[in-house]
Chains A and B, each alone.
Chain A
Amino acid sequence: MNDFKVGIRHMDTVTVFDLKGYLDAHTAPDLEQAFLSAIDGRKYNLVVNFRDLAYISSAGLGVLMQFIEDVRKNEGDIKLSNMSPRVFNVFDLLGFPMLYEIYAEERDALEKFRNNVTHPPYQKPDTGE
């Protein structure tokens, strides 16, 4: 059993992904597809609700990394909410709270979007290239 499900809800201008089960290298492509469908529909205000997620490996965090640049270029954001201590620990170990807003409750993330408090657009560092 390696169950993972992504539910998609539209809350005003925000798309919420409800994750359930086990997110690893086998199931990460399902999350990738969900993000792609939102972005193809030009939805850039995204919240990922982790309430029913039991497990995450770096493959799941990799999906968030894959889309954050594109989403912020379009003046959106990926905000995260409702993580169990176990799931939060994985994000924390890798320093993800530096890059992502993580909220205890989904409504706080939605409120941020509602108040139009957007993350500054992502800017590439000047590497002289």
Chain B
Amino acid sequence: MTQHTKHTDLTLDISSKTDLLVEVRTFVTDAARAFGFADDDVSNIELAVDEACTNIIKHAYQYNPAGRIRLAISSTAEQDQPRRFIITIHDDGRSFDASHYTLPDMTQYFQRPRRGGLGVVLMKKLMDEVEYSIAPGAPNAIRLVKYLLPLHPRSA
């Protein structure tokens, strides 16, 4: 029997403006540290969430500051599983269709230098799970998950 708990603890609702990325980073680093992550993981989560919000500001809202970005942090704890730290980010802008996106091969990327396109690569490398969901009439959602591994795993 698996014990399963889920908490939605914290939310942040901001305008689609790059000067508010600092608020996003403070919000997520405080929560990640309180959850128990070590400094390296806190930094990785901070950067992944910054990249997600930057992409929303840039691509979903195309720098229109009237757009809203809503972040929610939740966690799950299942028996014998790592605890999951989950950041869900919603927006109402243009959808990013991840099914038509392939991660760039970095060797090829460097043969044709260009600006941008690196955020999604970073998110995938920094987090354990990255999932986009888009549906007609519903806000876009991206869900970023990081596992908190126990320091001293119990042997079976």
> Could you say which of B65-73, B110-118, B145-153 contacts chain A?
B110-118
Q: Tell me the total A-B contact number using a CB cutoff of 8 A.
A: 74
**B125 sits at the interface (CB 8 A):** yes
A24 lies within 8 A of B106 (CB): no
The chain B residue sitting closest to A27, CB to CB, is B18
**Total residues of chain B contacting the partner, CB 8 A:** 27
Q: Mark B108-128, 1 if CB is under 8 A from A, else 0.
A: 001111111011011001100
With A24-B54, A95-B106, A125-B111 as known contacts, state yes or no: A2 contacts B122, CB within 8 Å.
Answer: no
The chain B residue sitting closest to A60, CB to CB, is B118
The chain B residue sitting closest to A29, CB to CB, is B18
Contacts of A14 in B (CB 8 A): none
B106 lies within 8 A of A98 (CB): yes
Complex Cα distance A63/B115, Å? 7
Complex Cα distance A9/B111, Å? 30
**B87 sits at the interface (CB 8 A):** no
A69 lies within 8 A of B113 (CB): yes
Give the residues from 1 to 48 in chain A that come closer than 8 angstroms, CB to CB, to chain B: 1-2, 22, 24-26
A25 lies within 8 A of B18 (CB): yes
Give the residues from 55 to 81 in chain A that come closer than 8 angstroms, CB to CB, to chain B: 55, 57-59, 61-63, 65-66, 68-69
**B102 sits at the interface (CB 8 A):** no
B51 lies within 8 A of A58 (CB): yes
Complex Cα distance A22/B24, Å? 13
5 closest cross-chain pairs (CB), A and B: A26-B18, A58-B118, A95-B106, A62-B115, A2-B22
Interface on A for B, CB 8 Å cutoff?
A: 1-2, 22, 24-26, 55, 57-59, 61-63, 65-66, 68-69, 86, 89-90, 93-95, 98-99, 122, 124-125
Interface on B for A, CB 8 Å cutoff?
A: 18-19, 21-22, 25, 43, 47, 50-51, 54, 57-58, 106-107, 110-116, 118-119, 121-122, 125-126
